[in-house]
Structures are given as C-alpha cells and as structure tokens.
Structure 1
Amino acid sequence: MIDWFAYLQVGVATAAGLLCVVLGLVGRAPSDLTMGALALVEVLLVAQVVVAIAAPAFGNAPTGDPLEFWTYLVSAVLLPVGAGFWALLERSRWSTVVLGVAALAVAVMVYRMLQIWTVQQA
C-alpha cells in the first residue's frame, strides 16, 4: 500500500462524504455531483485493489494480517456500489445522506487498511 495514495483516498472520501451529507441535509436528491463524487471514491478503491495486488511483488508486503486487510478492501469496494444502487432506487434527500455516510465509512476503512499494512509488526 502506498502511503500518499492512501492519504489521498482518505481526503477524497472525506470531502465526498461531507459534500453528500451537507447536500442531503439541505434537501437535495442524488444528482450527478453526488453520484460522481462517490464514483471517484470507487475508482480510487479499484486502483487500490491493483496496488494491493502488485505491492507485495515489489517488496512492499503488509506487516499486519492480510486476511483482515483484504476483508476491509473488498468491503470498502462494495460499499459505494451498494449506496449508489440505493440512491438510484430511492431518489430522496436521505439517499444523498446515505451516499455521504458510505463515503465517510470508506475513509475510515482506508485509514484502517493503511494501519494494517504499515503499522503492525508481524
């Protein structure tokens, strides 16, 4: 896992989450802006999957439990997809809030993945 890329993901997911929560609480239904913000979070997560597959081959293996790391990563990849699907089915302001909560949850999960990959000693 690349440190700067993980911090970029946390920043983008936090910004997308706050944007969606604020727009949802103001009363806006899901729009291209909110769905696009969550799509950006998803694209970064897919790139993280590629990095996590390639990193051990280049000598950057996780120091923590790989099963725990992959469980977080797969869950984080599925979370925006589920929230986006929900937002497309139920187009209300609360769906926008759900998009924001999903993005904020991804931010926390990516930070935890960074901890599992780098901080723990095997």
Structure 2
Amino acid sequence: MILWFTSIQIVVAVAVGLFCVIAGLMGRRPSDYTVGALALVELLLIVQVVIAIIAPLAGNPPTGDLLEFWVYLVSAALLPIGGVTWALLERSRWSTVILGLLAFAVAIMLWRMEVIWTIQVA
C-alpha cells in the first residue's frame, strides 16, 4: 500500500461519512450527492485493489498476513455497494445516515489494512 494514497482515502471516507450523517440527520433522503460521494469512496477502493496487486510485484510486499489484508479489502469494497443498494431500496433519512456510517467503517478498515501491510510481522 502507498501511505499517501491510503491517507487520502481515509480523509475522503471520513468527509463522506460526516456529509452523509449530517445530511441524514437533517432529514435528507439518499440523493445523487450522498450516493455519488459513496461512489467516490468505492472508486478509490477499486484503485486500492489495483495498487495491492501491483505493489508486491514492484518490491513493496506486505509484512502482515496477506489473507487478512485481502479479506479487509474485499469487505471494504463490498460495503459501499451493499449500502447504496439498500439505501436506494429504502429511501429514508436513516438510509443516508447508514451511508455515512459505512463510510466511517471503510475509513477504519483502510487504517487497519495499512497496519497489516506495513507494521505487523507475519
């Protein structure tokens, strides 16, 4: 993993989380803005998948458990997809809050992936 890219992902995920939670608590239903914000988080996760495939080939192997890393990455990539699907099926203010909470969960998972990649010793 690349530290600066992971840091950008975490900042974006937290910003999206705050935006969606505040919008939901203000009574907003899922809209193009909230769903699009979570789509941006998903796009960055897809780029992270590509980086995770290329990094070991470029001489940046993980120091932690590779299986644990990939489980986190695949799970984090599936969270926004599931959340947006659910939010579009149940269009309530709480769906928007849930989108924000999913973005916070992705931010936490990204930090854990960085720890697995760089700090832990297998």
Other structure's SS at 1:117 match: helix
Q: Which runs of 5+ in 2 are unaligned?
A: none
Q: Percent identity?
A: 66
Q: Displacement of 1:55 after TM fit?
A: 0.3
Aligned length: 122
Displaced runs of 4 or more, over 2 A: none
**Paired residues for 1:12-91 under 5 Å:** 12-91=12-91
Give the residue type in structure 2 aligned to 1:64. G
CA distances 1:84-116 after superposition (whole Å, capped 9, x unpaired): 001110110000001000000000000000000
Distance 2:32 2:69 in 1: 31
Q: Displacement of 1:121 after TM fit?
A: 2.2
Distance 2:121 2:65 in 1: 10
Give the residue type in structure 2 aligned to 1:121. V
Q: Displacement of 1:120 after TM fit?
A: 1.1
**Cα RMSD, aligned residues only:** 0.5
Scaled by the length of structure 1, the TM-score of the pair is 0.99
Query: Are 2:104 and 1:104 equivalent residues in the alignment?
Result: yes
Q: Which runs of 5+ in 1 are unaligned?
A: none
